Chain A
Amino acid sequence: MKTEVRNLSRIFGKTKAVDNISFSFEDGNIFGFIGPNGAGKTTTIRIMATLDLATSGDVFYDGVSATLYPEAVRRVVGYMPDSLPGYKDIQVWEYLDFFARSFGLKGAERTRALNDIVEFTNLGDLRFKFLFALSKGMKQRVSLARALVHNPKVLIMDEPAAGLDPRARLELRSLLKILAEQKKAIFLSSHILSELQDICDGAVIIEQGKLLSAGTLNDLLAQVNGTPPPSAQTPQAGQTAAPADVSGAGAASAATQQPAAQLTSIVIKTPRGEAEPVRLKLLEHPLTHSAEVIDDDEVRAAVGGTDAEVSAVVGTVFAAGLTVLSFNRNQMGLEELFMKITQGKVS
Chain B
Amino acid sequence: MIGQTFFENLGESANPVFIKEMRQYFQNRRMVLLMGLLLLVEFICTLFFSSASDYSDDGEAGVVFFLLVITGGAILSVLICSIGTEQRFAEERSDKELNYAMLTILKPASIILGKLEGAMVMILCIFSLLLPFLTAAYFMRGLSAAALLLVLFMIPPLVLVTLLGILAGAFGKRWITILYFILLINAAFSVVPAGFSIAQELMEGAALDPEFWIGLAIEYAVSLLIGGLLFLLSVAVVAPPKSNRLFAVKLYLFLLPFFTGAIMAPLYLAFRSTGTFTKEIFYAVEFLFAGGAFGTLLLISLFEQPTAGIRVYTKCPRNFFGRLLHFIFSTGFCGSLVLAVPVMLIPAAILPFMKFSRSGEIGAYAFLCMMFTVLSAVLLSQILAWGTKLRLAPWVWTLIFLIVGNAGVLIPVIANDGYDNISKPVQILGMQFSQIFTFIEFIEDNSTRSVIPSAMHVSAIVSGVLFLLISPIFFKAFRLHRHPGDSDAIKTPTAEMLKK
Choose among A52, A86, A88, A89 the residue with the greatest number of B CB atoms under 10 Å from its CB. A89
Given A55-B484, A55-B487: A81 and B24 interface contact (C-beta under 8 Å): no
A22 to chain B, nearest CB (A): 18
Q: Does A104 contact B (CB under 8 A)?
A: yes
Chain A residues with Cβ under 8 A from B91's Cβ?
Answer: 86, 88
Tell me the bound Cα distance from A98 to B101 in angstroms. 9
Interface flags for B131-175 (1: CB within 8 Å of A; 0: not) read 000000000000000000000000000000000000000000000
Tell me the bound Cα distance from A56 to B310 in angstroms. 13
Q: Does B457 contact A (CB under 8 A)?
A: no
CB closest chain-A residue, reference B95: A86
Contact residues, B473-500 vs A (CB, 8 A): 483-485, 487-488
Chain B residues with Cβ under 8 A from A71's Cβ?
Answer: 105
Tell me the bound Cα distance from A201 to B204 in angstroms. 80
Q: Are B20 and A90 in contact (CB under 8 A)?
A: yes
Selected from B95, B101, B106, the residue in CB contact (under 8 A) with A83 is: B95
Q: Does B97 contact A (CB under 8 A)?
A: yes
Tell me the bound Cα distance from A146 to B96 in angstroms. 14
Q: Does B240 contact A (CB under 8 A)?
A: yes
Chain B residues with Cβ under 8 A from A70's Cβ?
Answer: 240
Chain B residues with Cβ under 8 A from A150's Cβ?
Answer: 104
Interface flags for B222-256 (1: CB within 8 Å of A; 0: not) read 00000000000000000011100000000000000
Q: Are B484 and A104 in contact (CB under 8 A)?
A: no
Given A79-B103, A83-B96, A102-B104: A55 and B485 interface contact (C-beta under 8 Å): yes
Selected from B97, B102, B106, the residue in CB contact (under 8 A) with A51 is: B102
Q: Does A317 contact B (CB under 8 A)?
A: no
Q: Does B276 contact A (CB under 8 A)?
A: no
Tell me the bound Cα distance from A130 to B25 in angstroms. 14
Please report whether the interface of chain B is mostly helix, strand, loop or mixed according to DSSP.
helix
Q: Are B92 and A86 in contact (CB under 8 A)?
A: yes
Q: Are A74 and B103 in contact (CB under 8 A)?
A: yes
A70 to chain B, nearest CB (A): 7
Given A49-B103, A55-B487, A89-B28: A94 and B97 interface contact (C-beta under 8 Å): no
CB closest chain-B residue, reference A49: B103
Chain A residues with Cβ under 8 A from B23's Cβ?
Answer: 89-90, 94
Q: Are A102 and B106 in contact (CB under 8 A)?
A: yes
Tell me the bound Cα distance from A121 to B240 in angstroms. 30
Q: Does A315 contact B (CB under 8 A)?
A: no
Q: Does A218 contact B (CB under 8 A)?
A: no
Given A75-B105, A98-B16, A102-B104: A13 and B27 interface contact (C-beta under 8 Å): no
Q: Are B19 and A98 in contact (CB under 8 A)?
A: yes
Q: Does A10 contact B (CB under 8 A)?
A: yes
CB closest chain-A residue, reference B97: A86
Chain A residues with Cβ under 8 A from B95's Cβ?
Answer: 83, 85-87
Q: Does B100 contact A (CB under 8 A)?
A: yes
Chain A residues with Cβ under 8 A from B101's Cβ?
Answer: 99, 102
CB closest chain-B residue, reference A73: B103
Q: Does B12 contact A (CB under 8 A)?
A: yes
Tell me the bound Cα distance from A50 to B239 in angstroms. 12
Q: Does A11 contact B (CB under 8 A)?
A: yes
Chain B residues with Cβ under 8 A from A75's Cβ?
Answer: 105
Contact residues, A55-74 vs B (CB, 8 A): 55-56, 70-71, 74
Selected from B28, B104, B242, B483, the residue in CB contact (under 8 A) with A99 is: B104
Q: Does A53 contact B (CB under 8 A)?
A: yes
Q: Are A101 and B16 in contact (CB under 8 A)?
A: yes
Chain B residues with Cβ under 8 A from A11's Cβ?
Answer: 484, 487-488
Chain B residues with Cβ under 8 A from A77's Cβ?
Answer: 103
CB closest chain-A residue, reference B31: A89
Q: Does B99 contact A (CB under 8 A)?
A: yes
Q: Does A103 contact B (CB under 8 A)?
A: yes
Chain A residues with Cβ under 8 A from B16's Cβ?
Answer: 98, 101-102
Tell me the bound Cα distance from A150 to B99 in angstroms. 16
Chain B residues with Cβ under 8 A from A99's Cβ?
Answer: 100-101, 104
Q: Are A74 and B104 in contact (CB under 8 A)?
A: yes
Choose among A85, A86, A102, A150 the residue with the greatest number of B CB atoms under 10 Å from its CB. A102
Chain B residues with Cβ under 8 A from A74's Cβ?
Answer: 103-105
Chain A residues with Cβ under 8 A from B106's Cβ?
Answer: 102
Q: Does A107 contact B (CB under 8 A)?
A: yes
Choose among B27, B92, B104, B483 the residue with the greatest number of A CB atoms under 10 Å from its CB. B104
Contact residues, A271-317 vs B (CB, 8 A): none
Choose among A13, A74, A87, A98 the residue with the greatest number of B CB atoms under 10 Å from its CB. A98
Choose among B16, B100, B102, B488 the residue with the greatest number of A CB atoms under 10 Å from its CB. B100
Q: Does A54 contact B (CB under 8 A)?
A: yes
Interface flags for B81-116 (1: CB within 8 Å of A; 0: not) read 000000000011001110111111110000000000
Q: Are B484 and A51 in contact (CB under 8 A)?
A: no
A328 to chain B, nearest CB (A): 45
Contact residues, A91-112 vs B (CB, 8 A): 91, 94, 97-99, 101-104, 106-107
A201 to chain B, nearest CB (A): 26
Contacts from B to A (Cβ < 8 Å): 12, 16-17, 19-20, 23-25, 27-28, 91-92, 95-97, 99-106, 240-242, 483-485, 487-488
Contacts A/B (CB < 8 Å), 8 sampled: A10-B484, A51-B99, A53-B241, A79-B100, A86-B96, A97-B19, A98-B17, A130-B27
Contacts from A to B (Cβ < 8 Å): 10-13, 49-56, 70-71, 74-75, 77, 79, 81, 83, 85-91, 94, 97-99, 101-104, 106-107, 130, 146, 150
10 A-B pairs closest in CB distance: A86-B95, A102-B104, A101-B16, A89-B24, A89-B27, A55-B484, A98-B20, A89-B28, A102-B16, A102-B106
Taking A77-B103, A102-B101 as given, write out 6 further A-B residue pairs in contact, using a Cβ cutoff of 8 Å, ordered by the A residue number.
A52-B241, A53-B242, A81-B99, A91-B27, A98-B17, A106-B12
